Every structure is written in structure tokens, then in C-alpha cells.
Chain A
């Protein structure tokens, strides 16, 4: 497909182009590693592709205990940043699970959120730690918790001409993301499991990716974990509860019964990994 490429210098200009009917249909472009496949094969009709590359969003900073990641920061920059690996080990697990290193030099967190794939490797950990998405549009800025931001498979609560500016991610020194794939390298996860400790007893949070149209927190599993650290028996109960949830997807990548098996295994492994991940806030 052919389209015209716009490269606005400012956020205002980007929003103006995205709202201008004479450019429609227009789509915002971050790294493009996912979007451009759909545009190329006509699954997303786009007359205009609006590159966000010149906007000042290739950033990363701490606001107290919260990591703020600009929407267009390539994934590859994240693990190298001071403190990220110790304060958010689960995020690093997830980021390093995305595609290949070459792809991570282009792909971005903002793009991953905007595309809201059911098997996204980063959405589960963002759910587990309680990340907040910061949005900007002509009517101003707003913040949306990640659980409300993702509405369905490939569906978000982004309004028309609204952009993801950054993602605020509370630190979770005890967190992990584990996954299973047909091929370990450069594949779509059949199941991904994120676990994170939110800093108080009874505050272990568990999220699953790849099993339903959207990544989900599993309250039934979390309810099994009143203590900190959780006992092996509690983790076992949590793993069973996570695997016993709603009807999981059967598709070309895995059957529902295999996904249930993986959820139960990966919840246990996620806890083992999270508890091994230090714990020094």
C-alpha cells in the first residue's frame, strides 16, 4: 500500500494532522515494527502515516519511585538505564522478551501499548505493577490506569487524535515476567505471566498474557497469597487458581488445555524468579 509520511516537529502539530479530515485515515507511527505490516497488507487503511520520531518522547526518568518511559523510546534503551534492572526486574524480563535485539532498537513501549496485542510481552508486567498511561490530545492531558487503557484485542481507550505520551511504571524490585513459545527466539509468546510485589503483605499481583483477548490480572490467584513471602503451598494454590480461570483462547499457536498447563507452570516459575530477584527497594 502507498501512504504519505508526515513528520511533525511538535506534539501540537502531530495532533492537528491526526485530527485533520484531509489526512484521514491517518495513523501514528512509533517504531513501526508491528503497525507497518498491517498497513502494508491493507489490514489498516492508512492514507497518512504520522511519524512521532521528532517528538521529544525518547526519554526515560524517575519520578521518585516511578519510572517514566517516553512513548517513542526504543525498547533496547530500557534495560541499560541505571536502576531499571534492580528496581523493575520484571520489566526488563518483559522488554528483553520482545522480538529480537534488532527489532528492539526500533520497537517502542508506546507502540506496543497502542497496538494492544493479546500476546504482548510487556502488557502483563505493566498490569502487575499497576502502570499508568499518560495521554495527550487537543483537549489536554489525562492519565489512564493500564487495566482500563486496554479494552480488547487490538483495542484501546485512545480517543481519535489522542497520543500516548509516556507510561509511568511504579518500581517493583521483586517482579518477574516469564513466557513460553514454540521457538524461544523471536516468536510470539503462547503464554506470558508477570508477577510483582506491590510493597505490602497480601500485595502480590499476577497478570497473564496470551490467554485471552487482552492481558488480565487474576484476582483469584492473588487472593491465595496473603503472606509475604508466600509459601510454596500458597503459590501452588495461586497457580491452580490462575489456570482455572475463564475460557482461554485456542488458536494456531496453542490449544486452551496447553495454555492452562503453561499458566500453572509459569505462575510458579514467575514467583521463583521474582523472589530471587533481590528485594532491596
Chain B
């Protein structure tokens, strides 16, 4: 069995958020704002309070009595004045049954003086904001960095190629909805929840509620898919408020429609490129970005600077200017979606890269090879690039493309996309190893979210580090009150950071065993029929002999931690805002082969190949699974998935019928190639692989469509109608 959770999940034995129950539990339901924008005149809870089964009803006005600080901080539980988006929770009701709570929620009278909502950033700024727009209406962040003499580079160029791209919102569509169960007793706040970040929820919810983090205990469940949607406090503060007000356990769970209506995710953007070319190479680029942030953008200018960094690509561009605006609209808040905003940026920059190659008449892969970073190169913000497998991956892709050109039918379009990612952030983590004669237990904070990074990734690291078989290794998790700290399952960092923590704890264990065994050489473990052996030089001793009675039962314990280094940027190139210091660069090259119906605009992806700079494969089967999953998800972003909004701020497709994720019928045969040897910061040189597989998909597909048709579609997703429009059929 590759994954230790497979049998449990196949039997239905894994307990998820929606399985949370406890005797005497109430059901909490959120009351949604009826309009997308406006000023709250009043929230009348009296009718809801009189409804059958209702125990408590809470709005902004009621919070002061509940919370030490009234919840009145930057992110209040409920708004007291402004409605920022339609369905924004403005109150909550808890009742003995879910049906009663829902019925009561409909009795809450929310009186709002409506204002015209702003939904489209191009409605607010049909022309781009000016350089002075930092304080302009709706602009929540402005970032600007530049280097070199752009005007001169543009004047001396053979041509300057200008293109504008647009991308639309995509949703997470995790199979499991958000759900949590909160209890507040004797000053201890406790919430069980389905989350990617137990400690993140603790910090976040404590801040929102105005309580000390130590007084809140977060306990995870199995997670039925996250993709970034379960990475911060979401329903937990509501459930905790209702539990505090009622003195009873309260469960709050989203229905599937709520998942769509409330999703905090990627929103639309406009991306504009001006690239100067001389003697067949890029000499300068100006990029500008307008990013729709919805009601808010966590991290504001940091997030804006992070996104815009992708628009220069992993390419040597000596002179540049990049400028990004984040603009508020009346939609749910922006939030991280697997490789936040990178697939969209890479679609734009890689489409533009292909346009340049076509204009020059140069093979698109060859054109990329002329510019792509190699080890020792510097990024735009002057970060040094470490071992980087992009060139090797591009060269492998060239072989596949040549092969497909020979074998696939005439008319097939073939396109390539190159993305980069930064996989080992400063986000740290800790583990506790417990070694008994029979097994090695890895104690840590995280719950498996589906990728396998916990149930298989951590085991694979320990297997390789100690040289013991997987069936003698067990991963456990515990609540934030007792678990070693970890930052969360996100950012392609989990197996890497916790894996390094396992190595650190392992070093301590082995050092201790060497000292106890009196060995002069380093020792290692061996798995024997009677339990582990400690082997060093000519010495082979049963582990049990080196342990106390208590240790034989509870294990010899060692803790390990890994806090990665953040990269550093050259701030002299930054004019305004902050930019993301990427580290531990990884490359992802993907190739798509498509057939385009030139009468309807339909695109069918018939073959796919993915070349990933993984450093070291911790488990090739998991690499394959992770890449296949990311490609499948990315095909949705490329071809069918987009959130649609009515003029009143209503989401028009809050469901799986009109929000179209790919089905298995749309997934092509996918070849997965691990490019190894360009070692990263993870254990044994592994690089993260959670997010890279989704990043180049829209780019590869879009470039294949252009290869097939000669026309370029400049907006995601490439629906049949958009392709038909580009083909001038309409």
C-alpha cells in the first residue's frame, strides 16, 4: 500500500468536517447580506430569536458582550456599517436543528441602504490608473519596481511588442465543504475543523476574536481537499462566537452552494505587456497588472508584488519596469488558490513569449532557451538563482514535441508553457519523533489534505533517512495544545519543511543512540524481526537494550525543527510596495497537444506531457499522482472554469452545473517526467510539487491553440465562444 490512509478512506472510516458531532450540539447558520454594497441601517434579530428551536442569534451589536475586545478589529466577525459583498455574513443564528436554524436565519431582517456595487475593475479604470493612483478610489495596493533605462531600450529596439491579457476568477471546488464544531467552556475556546493550517486558524481566529492564541485549541480532521481554501480561519470564528453566546457546542457547515458563494479565491486581472526585442532577444519589458481583490486582499501589496513577479517569467530581462494595482470590488475577498494567481500570470507571460517567438520566426522552445535562467543567474530583483532544471526540462520537452509532430495527425496544435515556483519559504515547522523498538512515530500538527504530503511524504523521508521500511513508520497528529508547531499544508512546503525537521530530529536520535551504544562510528537503524537494531561499525545491538523501560513503551523522543531561509531582493530596484523574495526555484515545463474545431471553437486536449524540476523524487508514484492531479485541475482553469457575476453582485454560476470543472472525459493521457538532480532545499534535495503542476497548464493549452489556428486567445478560460471570437467566426 503506497498510502497509509488508503484502506481507511476506502472503507469510509476517515472522519471529515461534516462528520463532526457531539451531544447537545447546536447548528449555526450565517445570515447573508442581501446586497453587494451598502450601509447597514439595522440588523433586526428579534423575529429570529422567537423562532422555534433558536437558542441564540448574534449580530455585530451583540458581539461586544461576548468578546473581550468586542471583535472590533480590522476583520470584525460581522460588519457593523458597510456591506462589502453579497452574502457577506452579517449575523448568525444557532438552533437545535439545521432546518430550524435555516428557517430562523431567513427571519433576520437586514436593512441596508444599498449603494451601486463595483464589480469590474475595468469599469472603474477603463484606462489604467495613473502613477499617482495609490490613493485613488478602490486602489488598495500599488507596487512598482524598475531597473535600467526603459525608454532608451525601447527606442533602440527593433520592435516593441504590446499585448493585453485578461483572466477570470476560478474556484477551489474541494469535494469537502468547510465545517467546524466549536465549544467554549471555562475560558477555553476549542474548535474542531477541517483545515490546512491548525496553527494558522488558531492565530487568525484568536486575532479576529480578540483572545490570546493560547486560550484557543484547534483540532483538525481529515481534509477532503483544500487547494488553499482551508488555509485561514473562515467558519471557525462564527462557530466560536455562537458557542460562547449559547454555552453549547455549535457546528457551522457550508452547503455546497455556500462553497461557491463564499469562496475566497482568485479573481479577475488585466495584464499588459510591452516587450522590446533586438537581435532576436528580449532587451526590456514593461508589465502592468490590475488585480481584482474583491472585498479585501490579504497581504495587500505583498500579494500584489508576489503576483507581478511572475510576469517577467524565469527569463533574463536586463531592463524592466513592473507595476501592479490591486483594486477593490464588491465580491468575496481574494484568497489563495493552488499556486495563487501563478497559472493566470504564466498564461499571460507565456502566451506573450510565444507571440514574440512567432513574430521573430523562432521556435518557441528555442526562444525560451535563449532567455531562461540558469544556475547563478540573477532575477529581476537581483536574487541569485540556485540549481534550476528549466533548461533540462525544456530540452526534454523538445524531444516530445518533435515526436508528436511526427506522429500526431496534421492539424494538431502543440504548445509549451514554462512556469517557475518558489517552494521552500521561510514558513517553518517542527516534529517530534518517538522511537520504540517496534516503530517510529512522527508526531506533528498537520492532517492529510489529499495530496499525500503527510501520510506518504513524511513517511518517505523517514524511510529514506533511517533506512527502515514504511510499515514501521507511523504519522500522528494532535491538537494545537500539544502538537509541535507547524505553519500549515500549503505553498508546496509541507513534505519539504517537515521532512527537514524529521532529519533534524533524526540526527538527534542517532547521536543519542551512538552515545548510549558507545559506538565510535555513526550509527544507523536496521529493521529486524524482533524490532529495530542499532548498527554502527561492527556493533549490532537491539534498540531495546539501549532504552529505559519507559522508553521502550513511550519511545525515545527527539524534536526537530526547520525554519527555511527567505530569499532577499535588491530593494534599490523597488520604488513602491513590497515584492516577494522567492527562494529555492523550481521549474515546470508542460506540453499540450490540441485539436481545435474551427467552426465551433471547441478545444480538445489530446495529449499532455509534464516535465518537472523535482530535485529528488521522494516517491515517483506520488510525483506522478501529484502532477496528473495538477494538470487535470489546470485544464479547468485553461478551458472551462470561470466565475460569472451579475450586475447586482450575484454570482451567476454557484454550482457544479455552470461552474465547469473537467470531468475524466476531458483529461488526456499525461506523460510525467521528473527532472532530477537540480537539488533544492528539501530533504535529499527534494523540491515541492504541490503547486507547480497546475502553473503552466493554461499557457501550454493556449499556445497549442495558437499553433493549431494561428490566432491568439487573450482571455482565460479558452471557452469555445472565446476561441470562436478569436477565429473571427462571430
Residues of A within 8 A of B (CB): 2, 41, 100, 180-188, 190, 252-255, 257-258, 261-262, 265
Given the contacts A252-B652, A252-B653, A184 and B721 also touching, CB distance less than 8 Å: no
Interface-lining segment among B450-458, B575-583, B660-668: B660-668
Q: Could you name 23 residue pairs across A and B whose Cβ atoms are closer than 8 Å?
A: A2-B99, A41-B257, A180-B602, A182-B660, A182-B720, A183-B639, A183-B660, A183-B662, A183-B663, A183-B666, A184-B666, A185-B664, A185-B666, A187-B660, A252-B644, A252-B653, A254-B721, A255-B721, A255-B730, A258-B721, A258-B724, A258-B730, A261-B729
Residues of B within 8 A of A100 (CB): 663
Ranked nearest first, the 10 interchain pairs of A and B with the lowest CB-CB distance are: A185-B665, A185-B663, A183-B660, A265-B599, A258-B721, A257-B730, A183-B640, A252-B652, A252-B644, A182-B719
How many B residues, CB 8 Å from partner?
A: 26
From A254, which residue of chain B is reached at the shortest CB distance?
A: B721
Residues of B within 8 A of A255 (CB): 721, 730
Other 19 A-B pairs with CB < 8 A, given A184-B602, A258-B730: A41-B257, A180-B600, A180-B602, A182-B660, A182-B719, A183-B639, A183-B662, A183-B666, A184-B665, A185-B663, A185-B665, A188-B657, A252-B644, A255-B721, A258-B720, A261-B724, A261-B729, A261-B730, A265-B600
Which residues of B in the span 663-682 have a Cβ within 8 Å of any Cβ on A? 663-666
Residues of B within 8 A of A253 (CB): 658
Taking chain A's interface residues, is the majority helix, strand, or loop, or is none over half, making it mixed? loop
Within the complex, the shortest CB–CB distance from A24 to chain B, in Å, comes to 20
Q: Kindly state the separation between the CA atoms of A154 and B644 in the bound complex, as whole angstroms.
A: 23
Within the complex, the shortest CB–CB distance from A243 to chain B, in Å, comes to 12
Residues of B within 8 A of A (CB): 99, 257, 599-600, 602, 604, 639-640, 644, 652-653, 657-658, 660, 662-666, 719-721, 724-725, 729-730
Residues of A within 8 A of B257 (CB): 41
* Residue of B639, B640, B644 ringed by the most chain A CB atoms within 10 A: B640
Q: Across the interface, do B658 and A188 meet the contact criterion of CB distance under 8 Å?
A: yes
Q: Kindly state the separation between the CA atoms of A257 and B600 in the bound complex, as whole angstroms.
A: 12
Q: Across the interface, do A252 and B99 meet the contact criterion of CB distance under 8 Å?
A: no
Residues of B within 8 A of A41 (CB): 257
Residues of B within 8 A of A254 (CB): 721
Q: Kindly state the separation between the CA atoms of A255 and B639 in the bound complex, as whole angstroms.
A: 17
Within the complex, the shortest CB–CB distance from B590 to chain A, in Å, comes to 21
Q: Kindly state the separation between the CA atoms of A181 and B720 in the bound complex, as whole angstroms.
A: 8
Residues of B within 8 A of A262 (CB): 600
From A256, which residue of chain B is reached at the shortest CB distance?
A: B730
Q: Kindly state the separation between the CA atoms of A252 and B665 in the bound complex, as whole angstroms.
A: 23
From A180, which residue of chain B is reached at the shortest CB distance?
A: B600
Within the complex, the shortest CB–CB distance from B397 to chain A, in Å, comes to 27
Q: Kindly state the separation between the CA atoms of A180 and B445 in the bound complex, as whole angstroms.
A: 48
Q: Kindly state the separation between the CA atoms of A254 and B257 in the bound complex, as whole angstroms.
A: 23
Q: Across the interface, do B640 and A182 meet the contact criterion of CB distance under 8 Å?
A: yes
Within the complex, the shortest CB–CB distance from B328 to chain A, in Å, comes to 24
Residues of A within 8 A of B599 (CB): 265
Q: Kindly state the separation between the CA atoms of A100 and B660 in the bound complex, as whole angstroms.
A: 14
Q: Kindly state the separation between the CA atoms of A157 and B662 in the bound complex, as whole angstroms.
A: 37
Residues of A within 8 A of B640 (CB): 182-183
From B665, which residue of chain A is reached at the shortest CB distance?
A: A185
From B642, which residue of chain A is reached at the shortest CB distance?
A: A182
Residues of A within 8 A of B725 (CB): 258
Within the complex, the shortest CB–CB distance from A117 to chain B, in Å, comes to 11
Q: Kindly state the separation between the CA atoms of A41 and B600 in the bound complex, as whole angstroms.
A: 34
Within the complex, the shortest CB–CB distance from A154 to chain B, in Å, comes to 15
Q: Kindly state the separation between the CA atoms of A184 and B666 in the bound complex, as whole angstroms.
A: 8
Q: Across the interface, do A252 and B600 meet the contact criterion of CB distance under 8 Å?
A: no
From A187, which residue of chain B is reached at the shortest CB distance?
A: B660
Residues of A within 8 A of B602 (CB): 180, 184
Residues of B within 8 A of A185 (CB): 663-666
Q: Kindly state the separation between the CA atoms of A258 and B720 in the bound complex, as whole angstroms.
A: 9
